[in-house]
């Protein structure tokens, strides 16, 4: 049977619902929604908001500042995913791309293990990998640390900015002015943490949660499922992405992650410091901890800034409502990370404006 | 402009435009330059088309081509899309100390083959060697001269109702080079690097009212289409499901977080022609090897002045912007 978007949209329209605000937690969803033009198709009462699910966007300016400072130290090569190269620290325009032009060594890699290979190939340099992301990238990052340990690659280290989804969502829901009626849950993260990983949403907050894949068809089906749950007032976790997500996720990946990392207090853009929301290397892996190896320090609080990305990724402001959007803040001269990342809400709005 | 030049200024997107508009145009100001075409059209008894381009690709050898073939085809194409018949090339080599002679020989042989195939001669040149670490193997600049055969090609000639066509699959070169650089999916994809002068001749001699031709290199199809209508009172409306994109290109782009519409092409043409001539242009394109996958991808309208709008395959619509900064691979 072929997919009938029009029929599904009619069905969504037919639910007796007032204004409904749904949040997509994953940056890949944000991008897929913008790219396929789903927003231009949905009825006016269904609003899709971007959540704190773009790993680059939730990294605060103070941490980027620390990375930029580290990148200028002699002997250090920063290995990073491409997205991080253009993210500004607390000074607009100051990013790894600019530091590279000023002499910093910055290499774009495609996986954490590539950074270990880079280190093995360049024994004279200290390779610092910027570990960014959620439960999706954490197991791969852990595997890279284990590989470095096994192979005795001593010039590899990890600057962990890794985070977990649940504490952030809990903090978001508890925050003042929170106004979201359901979550479109990230399919990639769910492949690791499973359906169980999102069960706290209906259980503790009576919020519907639908785990969604990334094709426009997946997203529209998930919006339909959320609207249906709301209309029936029966919040639960539904798994729309069964072709990839097992009910209990991926226990092996979680085991590798837990072997290397322990939860710690971490700083989020827009949400501030959240207990147990970050993943730091465990004591037995501290030789691979770049923060310890190079004595990196940054403040425990978010610095004030004109950038309002924090409000955008907590659903308080749409990108277009930010006074900087499209004026002082554009993809070529971004003020905030939401405009840089290929998964950032503002970049998606800017690049794929609906009409 | 920023206080220093970053890689974004060479991406072919908005920062490149800014560098040209804020520094180069004011400094060099003259009528031939100000048209900002792929080449300049110079006055004289027989009008000359003149163009130049530098090639700094990494890796130097990639599936479907190498820096030498690229350097010849790129400049031939820039002359051809201006309506010129390319005749002569100049070639300047900047070689890094320590570069293997054997590799240089391969690149030069490749240039020779490409020139012969395109019917041009390399008639002048220059060679410089820089210290080790001051270059990336070899950089090549080529300049090309041709004679103007089809005058009047310009985005200014575009009219509402016109048809927008592409000569084949989109994003092949950029994706192939990105994959070669990353060491992933090797052998899956080839660059489309090719001389397009025969294709241009086929299109321009078929009797159709052709408004403009351009080869969408850096910045990709999206950026070139934006340049066609920017500042005008017309818009281009694209149909996503009409755009030819190879399955492997789509898969690689999804994986790397890239968009085929913004990936460089080195053997494709975008053409705007009068609506009633669309089928004729399509047939002229498909009659050549380079244009066998040609497609009609959109129309010129007055609905969104100055903008390029895409109807997505899913049924929504969105605006396409020029490339902002080099495309970066994403996290997950």
Where residue B140 sits, what CATH number does that domain have?
3.30.1330.10
Q: Pick from A188, A331, A355: which is nearest to B304 by CB?
A: A355
B82 and B114 in a single domain? The answer is yes
- Asked, for residue A7, whether it belongs to a domain, the answer is no
B219 and B82, same domain (yes or no):
no
A115 pLDDT tier (thresholds 50, 70, 90): very high
Q: Are residues B163 and B182 in the same domain?
A: yes
Return the number of other C-beta atoms located less than 10 Å from residue B112's C-beta: 13
Number of structural domains found in chain B? 2
Find the CATH number of the domain harbouring A194.
3.40.50.11740
Which domain covers residue B257, as residue numbers? Answer: 155-320
Share of chain A above pLDDT 90, in %: 70
Regarding whether B177 and B85 lie in a shared domain, the answer is: no
User: Is the residue at B13 inside a domain?
Assistant: no
Q: Same domain, yes or no, for B186 and B311?
A: yes
Candidate from B307, B317, B325 with C-beta closest to A331: B325
Domain count, chain A: 1
Residue B19 within a domain: no
CA dist., res. B242 & res. B233, Å (int)? 24
Q: Which of B1, B316, B327 to mutate to test the interface with A (most CBs of A within 10 A)?
A: B316
- Residue A8 domain-assigned? no
Is the distance from CB of A130 to CB of A160 less than 8 angstroms? no
* C-beta atoms of A332 and B324 within 8 A: yes
Quick one: residue B216, left, alpha or beta (phi over 0 = left, psi -120 to 50 = alpha)?
Answer: beta
pLDDT digits (tens, 9 = 90+) for B197-213: 999 999 999 999 999 99
Number of CB pairs, chain A paired with chain B, less than 8 A apart: 113
pLDDT in tens, A239-256: 999 999 999 999 999 999
Is a pLDDT exceeding 70 seen at residue A217? yes
Q: How confident is the model at residue A291 (pLDDT cuts 50, 70, 90)?
A: very high
Q: What is the mean pLDDT of chain B?
A: 93
User: Of the candidates B116, B148, B180, which is a domain's last residue?
Assistant: B148
A50 inside domain: yes
Strand partners, B295: B166
State which of B101, B122, B148 marks the end of a domain: B148
CA distance A198 to chain B (A): 20
* Residue B125 at interface with chain A, using a CB cutoff of 8 Å: no
B190 domain residue, yes or no: yes
Q: Which of B92, B114, B148 marks a domain boundary? A: B148
Same domain flag for B94 and B123: yes
In this structure, the answer to whether residues B143 and B168 fall within a common structural domain is no
Nearest CA in chain B to A94: B2
> Which residues in chain A have their CB less than 8 angstroms from residue B256's CB?
110
B297 and B165, same domain (yes or no): yes
Please tell me which residue of chain A has the smallest CA distance to B322: A351
SS (H, E, C) chain A: CCCCHHHHHHHHHHCCCCCEEEEECCHHHHHHHHHHCHHHCCCCCEEEEECCCCCCCCCCHHHHHHHHHHHCCCCEEEEECHHHHHCCCCCCCCCHHHHHHCCCEEEECCCHHHHHHHHHHCCCCEEEEEECCCCCCHHHHHHHHHHHHHHCCCCEEEEECCECHHHHHHHHHHCCCCCCCEEEEEHHHHHHHCHHHHCHHHHHHCCCEEEECCCHHHHHHHHHHHHHHHHHCCCCEEECCCCCCCCCCCHHHHHHHHHHEEEEEEEECCCEEEEEEEEEECHHHHHHEHHHHCCCCCCCCCCCCCCCHHHHCCCCCCHHHCCCECCCECCCCCCCHHHCCCCCHHHHHHHCCEC
Do the domain assignments include residue B4?
no
B227 and B305 inside one domain? yes
User: Is B23 within 8 Å of chain A by CB?
Assistant: no
Q: Is the pLDDT of residue A311 over 60?
A: yes
pTM for this prediction? 0.83
What pLDDT does A354 receive? 67
What confidence score (pLDDT) does residue B322 get?
86
Residue in the structure block whose two tokens are 């978001």:
A172
Confirm whether B103 is domain-assigned.
yes
Supply the pLDDT for residue A92: 82
Same domain for B211 and B104, yes or no, is: no
Q: Distance from first CA to last CA of chain A, Å, rounded?
A: 30
In a domain, B9, yes or no: no
| Statement to judge: residues B167 and B206 lie in one domain | yes
Nearest to B329 among A110, A330, A343 (CB): A110
Question: What ipTM was assigned to the predicted interfaces of this complex?
Answer: 0.72
Q: Which domain holds residue A287?
A: 17-349
Q: Tell me if A33 is assigned to some domain.
A: yes
d(CA B156, CA B150): 15
**pLDDT tens per residue, range A131-157:** 999 999 999 999 999 999 999 999 999
User: Is A4 a domain residue?
Assistant: no
Position A174 pLDDT exceeds 90: yes
| Nearest alpha-carbon partner for A272 in A26, A10, A94, A62 | A62
Question: In chain A, which residues have their Cβ closer than 8 Å to the Cβ of B316?
Answer: 36-41, 216, 354
- Tell me whether residue A252 is in a domain: yes
Candidate from B15, B315, B330 with C-beta closest to A41? B315
Query: Is position B6 within any domain?
Result: no
Q: What pLDDT score was predicted for residue A348?
A: 86
pLDDT at A1 (0 to 100): 42
Q: Judge whether A96 and A67 are in contact, CB under 8 Å.
A: yes
Question: Could B328 and A132 be called an inter-chain contact, meaning their C-beta atoms sit closer than 8 Å?
Answer: no
Looking at per-residue pLDDT, the higher value among A316 and A281 belongs to A281
Q: Tell whether B57 and B168 lie within a shared domain.
A: no
Establish if A12 belongs to a structural domain. Answer: no
B177–chain A Cβ distance below 8 A for any pair:
no
Spans in chain B with pLDDT lower than 70:
185-187, 328-332
User: Per the domain annotation, does A10 fall within a domain?
Assistant: no
In a domain, B7, yes or no: no
Q: Please, what is the average pLDDT of chain A?
A: 92
């Amino acid at each position: 049977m072929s997919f009938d978007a029009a029929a599904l949209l009619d069905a969504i329209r037919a639910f007796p619902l007032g204004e409904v605000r749904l949040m997509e937690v994953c940056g890949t969803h944000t991008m897929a929604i913008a790219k396929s033009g789903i927003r231009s198709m949905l009825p006016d009462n269904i609003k899709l908001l971007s959540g704190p699910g773009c790993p680059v966007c939730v990294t605060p300016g103070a941490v980027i500042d620390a990375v930029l400072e580290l990148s200028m130290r002699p002997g250090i090569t920063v290995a990073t995913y491409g997205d991080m190269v253009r993210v500004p620290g607390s000074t607009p325009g100051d990013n790894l791309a600019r530091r590279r032009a000023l002499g910093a060594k910055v290499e774009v890699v495609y996986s954490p293990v590539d950074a270990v290979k880079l280190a093995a190939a360049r024994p004279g340099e200290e390779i610092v990998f910027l570990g960014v992301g959620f439960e999706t990238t954490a197991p791969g990052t852990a595997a890279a640390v284990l590989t470095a340990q096994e192979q005795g690659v001593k010039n590899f280290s990890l600057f962990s900015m890794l985070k977990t989804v649940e504490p952030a969502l809990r903090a978001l829901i508890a925050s003042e002015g929170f106004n979201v009626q359901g979550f479109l849950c990230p399919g990639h993260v769910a492949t690791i943490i499973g359906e169980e990983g999102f069960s706290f949403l209906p259980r503790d907050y009576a919020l519907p949660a639908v785990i969604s894949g990334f094709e426009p068809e997946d997203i529209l089906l998930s919006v339909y499922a959320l609207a249906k749950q709301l209309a029936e007032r029966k919040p639960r976790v539904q798994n729309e992405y069964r072709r990839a997500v097992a009910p209990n996720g991926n226990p092996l990946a979680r085991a590798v992650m837990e072997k290397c990392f322990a939860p710690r207090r971490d700083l989020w853009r827009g949400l501030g410091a959240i207990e147990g929301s970050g993943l730091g290397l465990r004591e037995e892996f501290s030789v691979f901890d770049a923060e310890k190896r190079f004595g990196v320090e940054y403040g425990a609080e978010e610095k004030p800034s004109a950038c309002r990305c924090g409000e955008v990724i907590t659903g308080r402001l749409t990108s277009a409502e930010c006074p900087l959007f499209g004026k002082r803040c554009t993809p070529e001269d971004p003020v905030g990370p939401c405009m840089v990342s290929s998964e950032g809400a503002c970049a998606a709005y800017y690049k794929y404006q609906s009409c | 402009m920023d206080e220093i030049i970053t890689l974004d200024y060479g991406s072919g997107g908005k920062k490149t435009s800014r560098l040209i508009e804020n520094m180069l145009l004011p400094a060099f100001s003259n009528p031939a330059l100000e048209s900002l075409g792929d080449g300049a059209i110079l006055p004289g008894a027989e009008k000359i088309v003149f163009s130049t381009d530098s090639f700094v690709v990494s890796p130097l050898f990639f599936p479907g081509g190498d820096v030498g073939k690229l350097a010849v085809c790129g400049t031939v194409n820039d002359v051809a899309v201006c309506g010129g018949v390319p005749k002569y090339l100049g070639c300047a080599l900047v070689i890094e100390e320590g570069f293997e002679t054997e590799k240089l020989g391969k690149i030069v042989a490749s240039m020779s083959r490409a020139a012969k195939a395109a019917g041009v001669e390399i008639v002048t040149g220059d060679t410089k060697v820089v210290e080790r670490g001051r270059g990336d193997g070899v950089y090549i600049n080529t300049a090309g001269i041709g004679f103007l055969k089809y005058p009047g090609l310009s985005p200014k000639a575009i009219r509402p109702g016109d048809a927008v066509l592409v000569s084949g699959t989109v994003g092949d070169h950029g994706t192939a080079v990105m994959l070669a650089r990353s060491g992933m999916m090797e052998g899956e994809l080839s660059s489309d690097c090719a001389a397009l002068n025969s294709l241009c001749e086929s299109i321009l001699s078929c009797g159709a009212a052709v408004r403009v031709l351009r080869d969408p290199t850096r910045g990709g199809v999206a950026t070139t289409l934006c340049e066609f209508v920017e500042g005008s009172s017309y818009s281009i409306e694209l149909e996503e499901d009409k755009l030819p994109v190879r399955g492997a290109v789509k898969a690689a782009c999804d994986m790397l977080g890239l968009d085929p519409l913004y990936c460089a092409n080195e053997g494709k043409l975008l053409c705007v022609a009068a609506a009633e001539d669309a089928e004729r242009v399509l047939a002229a394109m498909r009659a050549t090897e380079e244009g066998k996958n040609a497609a009609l991808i959109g129309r010129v309208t007055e609905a969104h002045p100055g903008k390029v709008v895409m109807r997505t395959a899913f049924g929504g619509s969105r605006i396409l912007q020029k490339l902002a900064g080099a495309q970066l691979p994403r996290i997950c």
